[in-house]
Amino acid sequence: MRYFGLRRAAMCCGLALAGGAVAQQAPGDPNVLARSLANPLASVTSLSTEVRMAAGQGLGRHGLVNDVTLTKPFELPQAWAIVTNTVLPTTIIQNSAEFRGLGDANIAAVLVAPPRDNVFVGAGVVTVLPSASRAGLGARNWASGPFVGVGYQDDVISANLKLSQGWTLGGPAGQTRTTLTALRSQFSAGLGDGWSAGVNGEADYDWEGTGRARWTVPVSLTLSRVLTFSDDRALQIGGLITHYAMTGGPQRAVWEFGLSLTFVVPRDYFLR
């Protein structure tokens, strides 16, 4: 019933921090921009779409998921910043009308401290809005909780570790409550000419679940390249392969294969 809804709630927690220092809008150098896009906390305004194909064994394990994400930073005095991420997922599962439609919207707002010696920290709040069009696509509850993270980035390597906790704040009677702890790790390396490769690990623990179904543990390999058109307009094209070491329940794919497009736009393109 919560094939993709539970993971979408966890992803919102994970989108709050990735490797890199908070910086100005990235210039036209594709390698510089690739490093900035490795860090959703950098002051880069972007709109991305990520389409993933789910593959596994059994009913309800095949289909497509599309996540649309808007990243919008707000700069503060003395190099502080607030970075927001808004994610809206859409799901289409083969031979299952229950798993077709919009998922829960996820919003993260993180206060980022000025980086020191290539190390940075951030803390904020993540919120899940009950926008799912069907019960199987989300928890259909209001949920929120804290987020903390720490990361490191130099001219080649980006690495980070993030921890968040979400609780149900309210929703329809009889709906399953959300109590989710999410741990995220990410490592990426620049390969030159705008190319980068990385490994992402996730571990979600659903306190409302039972047995092995409480755990969702995917590991992803990524490869991407940035194509620049001007100092403030660019496109990142990427691919990913994800394997679920623990699937979090009977209705989750074992593998996912994805393609992502991230459009970098001028800083004031969405709100000034």
Asked whether the whole model's pTM tops 0.85, one would answer: no
Identify whether 155 is part of a domain.
yes
Instruction: Determine which of 43-57, 86-100, 249-263 has the lowest per-residue pLDDT on average.
Output: 86-100
Q: In a 3-state reduction of DSSP, which class is residue 216?
A: strand
* H-run or E-run covering 14: helix 5-14
Reading the block at residue 123, the tokens are: 């803390």
Q: Residue 56's pLDDT is what?
A: 64
Q: In a 3-state reduction of DSSP, which class is residue 197?
A: strand
How far is 198 from 230, CA to CA, in rounded Å? 26
Q: Residue 119's pLDDT is what?
A: 87
Instruction: Determine which of 87-91, 109-113, 161-165, 202-206 has the lowest per-residue pLDDT on average.
Output: 87-91
How far is 245 from 33, CA to CA, in rounded Å? 32
Cα 75 from chain centroid? Answer: 21
Where is pLDDT greater, at 123 or 102? 123
DSSP 98: G
* H-run or E-run covering 83: strand 81-93
Q: Residue 252's pLDDT is what?
A: 61
Q: Residue 9's pLDDT is what?
A: 44
How far is 36 from 17, CA to CA, in rounded Å? 12
For the segment 80-102, the average pLDDT, to the nearest whole number, is: 79
Cα four-point dihedral sign 127, 132, 136, 139: positive
Could you read off the pLDDT of 54-75 as tens digits, one per residue? 876 555 557 788 899 998 888 8
For the segment 99-124, the average pLDDT, to the nearest whole number, is: 87
Token look-up 């720490």 returns 150
Identify whether 270 is part of a domain.
no
For the segment 156-168, the average pLDDT, to the nearest whole number, is: 90
Identify whether 272 is part of a domain.
no
pLDDT band at 221 (very low <50, low <70, confident <90, very high): very high
Identify whether 49 is part of a domain.
yes
| Residue 11 pLDDT exceeds 60 | no
* H-run or E-run covering 7: helix 5-14
Q: Which residues of 102-114 are buried (b: 16+ CB within 10 A; e: fewer)?
A: ebbbbbbbbebee
Token look-up 């921090």 returns 17
Identify whether 101 is part of a domain.
yes
User: What residue type is assigned to position 251 of the chain?
Assistant: Q
| Residue 24 pLDDT exceeds 60 | no
Reading the block at residue 226, the tokens are: 């940035």
* H-run or E-run covering 151: strand 142-153
- What pairs with residue 146 in β-bridges? 125
Q: Residue 222's pLDDT is what?
A: 96
Where is pLDDT greater, at 223 or 269? 223
Where is pLDDT greater, at 260 or 19? 260
Token look-up 């803390």 returns 123
* H-run or E-run covering 36: helix 30-37
Domain count for the chain, please give it.
1
Q: In a 3-state reduction of DSSP, which class is residue 214?
A: helix
Reading the block at residue 36, the tokens are: 């900035």
Identify whether 221 is part of a domain.
yes
pLDDT band at 179 (very low <50, low <70, confident <90, very high): confident
For the segment 19-33, the average pLDDT, to the nearest whole number, is: 58
Which residues contact residue 156 at a Cβ distance below 8 angstroms, ignoring those fewer than 6 apart? 189, 190
Domain that holds residue 111: 5-264
Identify whether 271 is part of a domain.
no
For residue 192, the domain's CATH number is 2.40.160.40
